[in-house]
Amino acid sequence: MAITYKDAGVDIDAGNALVDRIKPLAKATMRAEVLGGIGGFAALCRIPTTYKEPILVSGTDGVGTKLKTAFAAAKHDTIGIDLVAMCVNDVLVTGAEPLFFLDYFATGALSVETAAAVIAGIAEGCKQSGCALVGGETAELPGLYHGSDYDLAGFCVGVVEKSEIRPRTDLAAGDIVIGLPSAGLHSNGHSLARKVVFETLGLALDARPEILGGATVAEEMLRPTIIYAPAFARMREAKIPWKGAAHITGGGLVENPPRIFSDDSLAIELDRRTWDVPPIMKLIASAGVAEHEMHRTFNFGLGMTIVVPPADADRTVALLAPEQARVVGRLVPRGGGEASRFS
């Protein structure tokens, strides 16, 4: 009997079945600028005509070790939201509007049901972001990945008016830092979180420690990353003169907020009393993780920080009430100290 590609572990028919499953998901995310649909060799997209001097902005990322928890919990319907969020939120802080998104899904043995659930999450993330899911790649690599385990990568392109690129150059001491809460761990620090929760504390995925308020460990660890696109869209529409923003990812509150600075003259001073720490982070800290390590590894309850002039702080907080925005700090002269400070 003739040897086939399927004998080597690659099922072309399953791949085709997956494409058929995801076509309507992608179609539901389309923007007027997109030309064509899923199935071509590449995706085409016009730049919106409302921009006078458009600059394209791109971002790429993955989901990291959070995937291991998704595998163990057999829950794949929200991890795609995480993927979109990690890329889109990075693009947003430049002042850009997300335009389109592509994904890369690689696995050892393609499960159409699992892959469709993941891509349904990606489509949901694109809807939340206002960007189109224009294509992607599904790779079945039995010699590289173990069984049905998979890895994800995403790629987002946005557009910004050249005059509106952030951060601005007029950041100054006294500017106000507004924080948008996170949903929990989001998609960073999961290697440490898994070590503490599963090894140090010895908790199972279905455990319900009191500190989690009735939720299971799996539910808390897999809460999807918040996509902040609606907040930035409203700031654009309201012409809020925000000066800079930071997506709080790897490096946490220690390394991310100062990335808006072009020199070492300023620091961000955050008041820890102004926001709530998610229960899952309280659980991790209870195992003996030092506070500085918590600040540096996790978002610690803030998924996004936005700097605005003092005169615009109140109306920005009111505008972003759906995101539970609050004033969390201010810019101060650095004076040779740390770029991020906590009080």
Contact 317, 326 (CB under 8 A): yes
* Segments of 146-295 assigned E as strands: 150-161, 176-181, 244-247, 266-270
Contact 60, 154 (CB under 8 A): yes
SS3 4: coil
Q: What integer pLDDT is reported at residue 151 of this predicted model?
A: 96
Distance CA 270, CA 253 (A): 9
Q: What integer pLDDT is reported at residue 7 of this predicted model?
A: 66
Contact 133, 122 (CB under 8 A): yes
pLDDT in tens, the chain (343 residues): 687 767 677 777 887 888 888 888 888 999 999 997 777 788 999 999 999 999 999 999 999 999 999 999 999 999 999 999 999 999 999 999 999 999 999 999 999 999 999 999 999 999 999 999 999 999 999 989 888 899 999 999 999 999 999 999 999 999 999 999 999 999 999 999 999 999 999 999 999 999 999 999 999 999 999 999 999 999 999 999 999 999 999 999 999 999 999 999 999 999 999 999 999 999 999 999 999 999 999 999 999 999 999 999 999 999 999 999 999 999 999 988 899 999 8
The string of DSSP letters for 288-314 reads T--HHHHHHHS-TTEEEEEEE-GGGHH
Distance CA 237, CA 38 (A): 31
CA-based angle 201:207:208, to the nearest 5?
Answer: 105
Fold adopted by 176-342? Phosphoribosyl-aminoimidazole Synthetase; Chain A, domain 2 (3.90.650)
Cα pseudo-dihedral 93, 97, 100, 103, rounded to 10: 20
CB neighbours (10 Å) of residue 172?
Answer: 13
Instruction: Judge if the upstream peptide bond of residue 333 is cis by omega within 30 degrees of 0.
Output: no
Distance CA 281, CA 306 (A): 22
The upper half-sphere exposure of residue 7, i.e. CA atoms within 13 Å in the direction of its Cβ, equals 4
Tokens of 317: 């907080």
Q: What integer pLDDT is reported at residue 180 of this predicted model?
A: 98
- Domain definitions of the chain by residue range: 6-164, 176-342
Nearest to 219 by CA among 209, 228, 206: 206
Nearest to 304 by CA among 190, 193, 177: 177
- Locate tokens 């800079």: which residue? 244
In CATH, the architecture of 6-164 is: 2-Layer Sandwich (3.30)
Distance CA 229, CA 219 (A): 24
pLDDT tens for each residue of 38-70 = 777 889 999 999 999 999 999 999 999 999 999
